[in-house]
Structure 1
Amino acid sequence: MEEQQQYRQKSHKRRFRRALIIAVVVVVLIAIVALILGLTLRAKSEHDTFKQVFLSRCEASQSNDCPKVWSAFEQAYVSKDPCTVPPEAYAPLLEAAPFTPACNRMLFWSKTKDVVHDFTDKRSCHVTLEDTLLGTVLDGLTWCGKEGSKETFTSGCPEWAYCDNNPVRSFWNKASASYAEVACGNVSVMLNGSILTPFSPGSIFASVEVKHFNPDVMKSLNVVLVTQEKVSNCTDASLKDLQKQLAKGIAYSCQEVPESQVEECASDPTIPCGACW
């Protein structure tokens, strides 16, 4: 009788251990499935949200080719290591949505983004890269792909300076070069006169755009040196470097303009565009 009782106790313990092991395995499997599902849903959420923003901005710009533009855009970086996307990867995108020259109205900038876009948002005197279809759609956004994935990610992407060929940096380099290539007539650039080096060698304007100005279609470059707290002026050494770097045949001029004057012109539509600076 005692032996039967001991056998039943041992048998019960074995069943309990098996049940416990099975329960642990089930919990682990559920956790793994939940993790995989969560990551998948997150990726789809990032992808779908980004695509929705892209297409809504595109459609707001009254483009009829938004699905075509999206397709050309995502092919540049999807399924790729986010540090191996060169500027040329966006060539098909620029072909799908080429820049339309706005002769005598094209405006470039460096270290003056806020004042420039406050001006162009209120007045149609000038057109910047960010006012074009692609510029409007992608300004302020972050995106990247990952090897083996067809999704678009907006988190975990490399910072601008982390690697040269990251998707965001490469897009703006390619777009800036292409926009500069079609700059025509009398072109302006708004630089910051409140810093020591208005024409900074590391800026996109200096390292990309100036090098792509075409003297066959571009007549002149007018530097608008915007000053809030005057640190530099039109005789600054960096601006002399800018003048030297311009292709032969492109005339150069420079004006020192208080930021308050630009803001006043932006807010007063009765002031003619030509009188803003």
Structure 2
Amino acid sequence: MRPSRVTLDGLLFAMITIINLQRADQWRGPGTTPNLEDIVIGRCYDYIETVNPSVGKKNCTAIWEAFQGAFISKDPCSVFPSDYERYINLTLHDIPMNKSLFWENNKQLVHRLSDRGKRYMALGDTLMGWLADNLHFCGSSSNSGFDYNSCPTSSECESNAQESFWRSASVTYAKHSSGEIQIMLNGSTPGGGFPMPSFLSDFEIPNFQRDKVSKINIWVMDEINGVNVDSCGENSTARLQSVLSHRGFPYDCYDNYRAVRILQCVDFPGNPECTTNSGSGFTSVWMTMIPVWITIMNNYGNMND
């Protein structure tokens, strides 16, 4: 017996519905951030007007068009670093000498230290990184051109919109870094502070320019109350030191670099790791900051005279 037309139409509708539901959740990563255009353009104006006006005027609308043009309406697993070339060119600006700060597995601490480019300028403090930081994005064949339900992770496909974006940005950032540059590692990370593969090992260090970089400072920072997995000259940090030596870069390595350690201790003022044992008993590391604060306040007062 032949099925009726109604039955066939109903079956076809059900199959299409199932396929669409499968596509809606086909990837393991979060979908495109809602209101992506408003966020990117808003961040752009915020950056050039208040965060870092020294970069000069930028065409934020053109930057958005270049950004979305790299992946909108495309196969989410067929987006390549070269697709972001126009975006990189439109957002490019100078990175101050001696201010580059590279990192692995300690993003929050890095950005507390960099202070939006005031102390150092990590990739996320540049315009190209600032606009996309903490956002999710990928293309779709839907009417909007974006997949708001899910995006592929790097384990699902390497040539996805976000992975390719950060690869392109990392290469550019490394090529434009100069003078003494800093690398901050997390010494409490299971497996070691210098993972391979990683953005640092695969896309940043290979693009350091020997004629621009004079020295590299490695800071291996244990977490407060964290285990000591890595230290200078040991484990994965020793591997990083070997890589830098092989590439001809002079370096110094510091375990729990004091200035950064003091910053970590802001959240743990009473922790034993945030005090030093002197001959006269325990002395808080805050005492070491008094001369610094006096200098800052004097300079502030002179500015207001």
TM-score (norm 1): 0.75
> Are 2:58 and 2:91, in contact at CA under 8 Å, matched by a contact in 1?
no
Q: Which runs of 5+ in 1 are unaligned?
A: 1-20, 40-45
> Are 2:184 and 2:221, in contact at CA under 8 Å, matched by a contact in 1?
yes
Structure 1 partner of 2:135: 141
The farther-off stretch of 127-136 and 229-238 is 229-238
Structure 1 partner of 2:199: 204
CA 1:157/1:132 → structure 2, altered by over 3 Å: closer, same or farther? same
CA–CA distance in structure 2, aligned partners of residues 202 and 106 of structure 1:
21
Q: Compute the displacement of 1:161 (Å).
A: 2.3
Matches within 5 A, 1:181-196: 181-195=175-189, 196=191
One-letter code of the match for 1:232? D
Matches within 5 A, 1:167-178: 167-178=161-172
The farther-off stretch of 215-224 and 56-65 is 56-65
CA 1:48/1:152 → structure 2, altered by over 3 Å: closer, same or farther? same
Match of residue 147, structure 2, among 142, 153, 156: 153
> Are 2:117 and 2:125, in contact at CA under 8 Å, matched by a contact in 1?
no
The farther-off stretch of 199-208 and 236-245 is 236-245
Matches within 5 A, 1:43-82: 49-62=35-48, 63-82=57-76
CA 1:89/1:219 → structure 2, altered by over 3 Å: closer, same or farther? same
Larger gyration radius, structure 1 or structure 2 = 1
Structure 1 partner of 2:274: none
CA 1:48/1:232 → structure 2, altered by over 3 Å: closer, same or farther? closer
Structure 2 partner of 1:42: none
The farther-off stretch of 239-248 and 73-82 is 239-248
The farther-off stretch of 264-273 and 58-67 is 264-273
One-letter code of the match for 1:177? V
Matches within 5 A, 1:249-260: 249-257=248-256, 260=261
One-letter code of the match for 1:87? P
Q: Compute the displacement of 1:241 (Å).
A: 2.2
CA–CA distance in structure 1, aligned partners of residues 294 and 45 of structure 2:
32
Structure 1 partner of 2:263: 262
Q: Compute the displacement of 1:48 (Å).
A: 7.5
> Are 1:186 and 1:218, in contact at CA under 8 Å, matched by a contact in 2?
yes
Structure 1 partner of 2:241: 243
CA 1:149/1:132 → structure 2, altered by over 3 Å: closer, same or farther? same
Matches within 5 A, 1:78-97: 78-97=72-91
The farther-off stretch of 146-155 and 65-74 is 146-155
- 1:204-235 per-residue CA deviation (whole Å, 9 max, x = no partner) reads 11121111111110111111100123222101
Q: Compute the displacement of 1:257 (Å).
A: 1.1
1:226 and 2:224 aligned: no
CA–CA distance in structure 1, aligned partners of residues 160 and 89 of structure 2:
20
RMSD of the alignment, in Å? 3.1
Q: Compute the displacement of 1:265 (Å).
A: 7.9
Find the residue that maps to 1:151 and give its secondary structure: coil
CA–CA distance in structure 1, aligned partners of residues 65 and 99 of structure 2:
30
CA 1:64/1:136 → structure 2, altered by over 3 Å: closer, same or farther? same
TM-score (norm 2): 0.68
Question: Aligned residue pairs: how many?
Answer: 234
CA–CA distance in structure 2, aligned partners of residues 220 and 271 of structure 1:
31
> Are 1:219 and 1:249, in contact at CA under 8 Å, matched by a contact in 2?
no
Q: Which runs of 5+ in 2 are unaligned?
A: 1-5, 25-31, 49-56, 268-285, 297-305
Match of residue 98, structure 1, among 92, 97, 100: 92
Match of residue 173, structure 2, among 167, 174, 179: 179
Structure 1 partner of 2:115: 121
Q: Compute the displacement of 1:249 (Å).
A: 3.8
> Are 1:176 and 1:208, in contact at CA under 8 Å, matched by a contact in 2?
yes
Structure 2 partner of 1:16: none
Find the residue that maps to 1:270 and give its secondary structure: helix
Find the residue that maps to 2:215 and give its secondary structure: strand
Q: Compute the displacement of 1:160 (Å).
A: 3.3
